[in-house]
């Protein structure tokens, strides 16, 4: 999956170089966003930095890197047999997320526009698991789940006169194989167009 994302990033850069001109710098933008995704029973946040290139008024390309914000904690007691009382704590966090997007945009009215995109995404989740028998010390394990694929999203954007944009979008990351669930969420972002 990482090779596919790296390849898509390189193809995007090559496309940018073939479209280079004296006014190229005004076509670039940068931004940040906060996303909240549902991974089955998990509710995980991601803070993302992104950069993109607006090829024309209707098509742009974007590369984004995100890291987890906060963690989902779950404590539970369970009994493996009547004589052994165990308890456990699980902590889940998005370690990193990499996205490459092709975005299609359509103006709606005044400074509003709607957009949709296809994306290649790679997400890594860290799971720390601590458990103990009632009379013993905690033991811990750390697992990492990594998966990616093709996803899509839809959003709306408002453009301010001074090159700033604010967006709200819904994103589907597809099925995350380690938990066998479809992953989706909402993002709130801000961009600055050079």
Give 82-125 as a DSSP string: TTEEEEEEEEEEEEEEEEEEEEEEEEEETTEEEEEEEEEEEEEE
Using 50, 70 and 90 to split pLDDT, how confident is the model at 43?
confident
- Of 191, 30, 194, 31, the C-alpha closest to 113 is 191
The pLDDT, as a whole number, for residue 15 is: 55
Which helix (H) or strand (E) is 5 found in, with range?
Answer: helix 2-18
pLDDT above 90 for 191? yes
- Of 75, 119, 71, 73, the C-alpha closest to 95 is 71
Largest CA distance in the chain: 76
More confident residue, 5 or 25: 25
Summarize the confidence of residues 162-191 as an average pLDDT: 86
- What's the total number of domains in the chain? 1
Residue-wise pLDDT for 100-116, tens only, equals: 999 999 999 999 999 99
Residue-wise pLDDT for 6-20, tens only, equals: 555 555 555 555 554
- Structural domain that includes position 98: 2-193
CATH of the domain at 76: 2.40.160.20
Residue-wise pLDDT for 114-157, tens only, equals: 999 999 999 888 888 777 666 667 777 888 888 888 999 999 99
Angle (nearest 5°) at CA 168 between 66 and 74? 55
């Amino acid at each position: 999956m990482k090779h596919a994302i790296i390849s898509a990033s390189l193809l995007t850069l090559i496309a940018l170089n073939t479209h280079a001109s004296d006014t190229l710098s005004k076509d670039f933008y940068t931004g940040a966003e906060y996303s909240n995704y549902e991974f089955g029973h998990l509710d995980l946040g991601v803070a993302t930095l992104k950069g993109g290139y607006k090829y024309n008024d209707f098509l742009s390309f974007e590369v984004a890197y995100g890291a987890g914000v906060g963690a989902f904690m779950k404590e539970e007691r369970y009994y493996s047999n009547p004589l052994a009382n165990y308890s456990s704590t699980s902590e889940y966090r998005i370690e990193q997320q990499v996205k490459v997007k092709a975005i299609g945009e359509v103006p709606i009215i005044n400074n509003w526009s709607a957009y949709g995109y296809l994306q290649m995404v790679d997400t890594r989740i860290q799971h720390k698991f601590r458990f103990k028998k009632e009379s013993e010390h905690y033991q811990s394990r750390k697992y990492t789940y990594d998966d990616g694929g093709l996803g899509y999203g839809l959003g709306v954007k408002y453009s301010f006169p001074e090159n700033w944009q604010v967006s709200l979008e819904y994103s589907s990351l597809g099925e995350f194989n380690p938990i066998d669930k479809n992953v989706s969420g909402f993002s709130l972002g801000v961009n600055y167009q050079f």
